Amino acid sequence: MKIFIDSADPQKIGRLAASGLVDGVTTNPTLMLKAGLRQKDAITRICRMIRGPVSVEGVGETAEQMVKDGQEFASWAKNVVVKIPMGQEGLKAVRALNRKGIKTNVTLVFSVNQALLAAKAGATFVSPFVGRLDDIGENGMKLVEEIMQVYRNYGFRTQVIVASVRSEAHVAQAAKAGAHIATVPPEILEKMFLHPLTEKGIAKFKEDWDAAKKGQK
C-alpha cells in the first residue's frame, strides 16, 4: 500500500519525505489556508520534493471552471493530479480532463455508488472519507472494503485513496482491506513509527550495553 501525506505544508512534507517512505501528497483549499502559502508556490515546492502524485483542488462549481482550473494546475508540474469534488458537474470535468490526459482524484466520496460512477467516468483516483463517516455513526472502513470489491468485480483501474484518516488504526485497516493508498496527516504518520515496546526495548539494550562496558573496566 502506498502512503501519501495529507498536507500543504512544504516543511512538514519535506521532513517526512526524507524517510523515503512517502509516495505522494494530497492537498485541499483548507490545508492551503492553514499552510499560509499561495497555492502555486506551495505546490511547485512540494512537487520538487515528491516524485509521486500531488493532488491539487480548486473551488470551481461548474465543470467548465473545474476543467479550466485543472488545466492550470497541471501546467505547474508533471506529477500534479487534479482533485475534483464528487457530483454531476465534477464527473463531467473528470471525463473532460481524462480526454486531455490529465489525471484526476475524485474527492468527498461517501458511498459505493459514488465510487462506481467516478470509476466509470475515468477517475485516476477516488477518495472515500472514512473519518467523516465514522463521525456520523457509519463504518468508513466497511465502505472501503465494498469499493475494493466492486472495483475487483469489474476490473476498474481507478485507485482507492483512503482519506479523512484519523488514527494509525485507520491506516492498518486500509492495508488489510487492500486499499491502494492511504493519505495520512503528518502527525499520524509520525506515530506510525512508534510503539511503547520498541522504545522500551531500545532503552533496555542501551542499559545492558552500558552495564557491559562498565564491567569491562
pLDDT digits 0-9 by tens, 128-169: 999 999 999 999 999 999 999 999 999 999 999 999 999 999
Higher confidence at residue 207 or residue 43?
43
Quote the DSSP letter at residue 100: T
pLDDT digits 0-9 by tens, 120-135: 999 999 999 999 999 9
CA–CA separation, 217 vs 206, rounded Å?
Answer: 17
Here the cell at position 132 is 467523516
For 51-64, the three-class secondary structure string (H helix, E strand, C coil) is: CCCEEEECCCCCHH
Question: What's the confidence (pLDDT) of residue 217?
Answer: 62
Q: Domains in the chain, please, with CATH?
A: 2-215 (3.20.20.70)
pLDDT digits 0-9 by tens, 29-38: 888 888 888 9
Q: Residue ranges of the alpha helices (H) in 155-194?
A: 168-176, 186-192
Q: Choosing from 83, 92, 103, 217, which is the catalytic residue?
A: 83
Among 72, 161, 149, which residue's Cα sits nearest to residue 108? 161
Helix (H) or strand (E) holding 73, with range, is: helix 63-74
Of the given ranges (19-23, 103-107, 134-138, 207-211), which has the lowest mean pLDDT?
A: 207-211
Give the Å distances, CA to CA, from 193 to 7, 21, 168, 198.
18, 11, 10, 9
What residue ranges in the chain does DSSP mark as E strands? Answer: 2-6, 24-26, 54-57, 80-85, 104-109, 125-128, 159-162, 181-184
- Find cell 459505493 and name the residue: 112
CA–CA separation, 215 vs 209, rounded Å?
Answer: 10
Kindly report the average pLDDT of the chain as a whole number.
Answer: 95
Question: What's the confidence (pLDDT) of residue 161?
Answer: 98
Is 83 tagged catalytic? yes
pLDDT digits 0-9 by tens, 75-113: 999 999 999 999 999 999 999 999 999 999 999 999 999
